[in-house]
Structure 1
Amino acid sequence: MYRLDISRLREIAARHGDASPAAIARRTEIAESSVYRILSGRSQPDLISALRLAKTYRTTVEELMELVQADAERVPA
């Protein structure tokens, strides 16, 4: 399973001068409320938003995502 790597997105956005959620929203044309939810970890970007983030910041969707192990796949300690 994949999820957005929030710290990576923040780092890439900051390199483009977008240090705040409002700046990310303006540049990507993603609703500001959605950007706040995404950056707080309360939601994941939909495909269109992920593509907008990648295109805007000249990267790939794969670069913005991280592979995480699903709960069902975890082996008990």
Structure 2
Amino acid sequence: MAARRYPLPKRFQAALSEDAYASLRALNTRYGLGNNYLLTIMLERLDDFADPEKLDTVFKKFIAQYGAPAAGMSRDA
């Protein structure tokens, strides 16, 4: 039986840090999926593997260190 392709209708450009891109490449090597599929799986299934409290802590630490864009400044909507 041939594998089906998972539809990815939304496309956008994303900038990644070197560390984030290295992690993405490592996942690609391990699972043989492209960057688009890896990011889709991670975001769609985030609640399956991420502890909500730890995730909240990570985001708060990042915002404390680097700040957050002003309201209405996000380009990825």
TM bracket, shorter-chain basis? under 0.3
Greater RCO (Cα-Cα under 8 Å, separation 6 or more): 1
TM-score by length of 2: 0.23
Greater share of residues in strand: 1
- Largest Rg, 1 or 2: 2
